[in-house]
Chains A and B, each alone.
Chain A
Amino acid sequence: MTERELIEGCINNKQEAQKQLFNLYAGKMMSVCLRYANNEALAQDILQEGFIRVFKSIHQFRHQGRFEGWLRRVFVTVALRQVSKQQLFFTDAAILDSQDHSVAPDVVSKISADEIHALIRKMPDGYRTIFNLNVIEGYSHEEIALMLGIQATTSRGQLLKARKYLQLMIDSKNEKIKIDCSNKI
Chain B
Amino acid sequence: MFDDIIKNKANEHEAPVPPDAWDNIVKKKKKRRLAFWWLSGGALVLLGISLAGYYFLQGQEANGSNELVTSSQRGVELQEPNDAGRNETAVVEEKNIQPEVDANTAITSEQTKTANDLNKKEINTSKPGSTTINNARATITITNGEAGEENKRSNSKKKWRKSKGRLLAQQTSPGVEEMAAVKVEDNSNTQILEETVSDNLTMAENKNVIALVVPDKKAVTAEEEKKKPDPEKKEAVNQNTAKKQTPKKRWFIEASAMPILTSSNMDETIVFNRTLSAGNNTIVYNGNLLKTSIEPAVAFSLAVRKELNKKFSMGAGLQYLQLKENLSIEGKEINTTYTPVQRLVNGQLVPDTVVTVSEGTRSITAVNSYRQFSIPIFMQYSIIQKKQWSVSAVGGMYINISSSYQNEIDRNAAAPLLVTPAAENKTQTGIDVFAGVRIGKALGRKVDFFVMPSMRWNLTKYTVENSLLNRRMNQAGVGFGICYKVK
Hey, which bits of chain A sit against chain B, CB under 8 A?
15, 19, 22-23, 26-28, 30-31, 33-35, 44, 47-48, 51-52, 55, 81, 102-103, 105, 108-109, 111-114, 116-117, 120, 135-136, 138, 163, 166-167
Contacts and interface: CB of A to CB of B under 8 A. Distances in A.
Contacts of B12: 113
A135 B15 contact: no
A136 B15 contact: no
Most buried by A among B17, B24, B28, B387: B17
A30 B2 contact: no
Contact of B14 (A27, A35, A81, A138): A27
Nearest to A44: B18
A102 B1 CA distance: 11
A48 B13 CA distance: 19
Contacts of B103: none
Nearest to A43: B15
Interface in B102-159: none
A167 B11 CA distance: 19
B349 interface: no
B7 interface: yes
B7 A136 contact: yes
B25 interface: yes
B28 A31 contact: no
Contacts of A102: 2
A55 B29 CA distance: 10
A116 B21 contact: no
A51 B25 contact: yes
20 contacts: A27-B17, A30-B14, A31-B14, A35-B10, A44-B18, A48-B21, A48-B25, A48-B28, A51-B25, A52-B29, A102-B2, A108-B2, A108-B5, A111-B9, A113-B13, A117-B15, A135-B7, A136-B6, A136-B10, A163-B2
Contacts of A55: 29
Contacts of B235: none
Given A19-B22, A44-B18, A52-B25, A28 B13 contact: yes
Contacts of B32: 52
B10 A117 contact: yes
B21 A114 contact: no
B142 to A, nearest CB: 78
Nearest to A47: B21
B16 to A, nearest CB: 7
Given A108-B5, A167-B2, A47 B17 contact: yes
Contacts of A33: 15
Contact of A116 (B1, B13, B387): B13
Contacts of A166: 6
Interface in B289-348: none
A28 B9 CA distance: 11
A30 B16 contact: yes
B302 to A, nearest CB: 28
A47 B21 CA distance: 8
Contacts of A15: 26
A120 B32 CA distance: 34
Contacts of B7: 135-136, 138
Nearest to B5: A108
A31 B12 CA distance: 9
B16 A108 contact: no
A166 B16 CA distance: 23
Contacts of A108: 2, 5-6
A127 B25 CA distance: 30
A178 B10 CA distance: 24
A177 to B, nearest CB: 17
B88 interface: no
B6 A116 contact: yes
Nearest to B386: A81
Contacts of A163: 2-3
B17 A116 contact: no
A105 B32 CA distance: 48
Interface string B26-60: 10110010000000000000000000000000000
Nearest to A41: B18
A52 B28 contact: yes
B15 A34 contact: yes
A110 B426 CA distance: 86
Nearest to B388: A81
List the 8 shortest-distance A-B pairs measured between CB atoms, nearest first.
A27-B14, A30-B15, A113-B13, A31-B15, A26-B17, A113-B9, A116-B9, A31-B13
A117 B16 CA distance: 12
Given A30-B17, A44-B18, A113 B10 contact: yes
Given A48-B25, A51-B25, A52-B28, A120 B17 contact: no
A30 B14 CA distance: 7
Contacts of B18: 44
B441 to A, nearest CB: 15
A116 B6 CA distance: 7
A35 B10 CA distance: 9
Interface in B174-208: none
B136 to A, nearest CB: 75
Nearest to A146: B445
B3 A27 contact: no
Most buried by A among B1, B9, B15: B15
Contacts of B6: 108, 116, 120, 135-136, 166
A19 B29 CA distance: 13
A12 B454 CA distance: 37
A26 B18 CA distance: 10
A27 B2 contact: no
Nearest to A51: B25
A44 B21 contact: yes
B48 to A, nearest CB: 30
A22 B2 contact: no
A166 B3 CA distance: 11
A44 B24 CA distance: 10
A19 B7 CA distance: 28
A136 B26 CA distance: 30
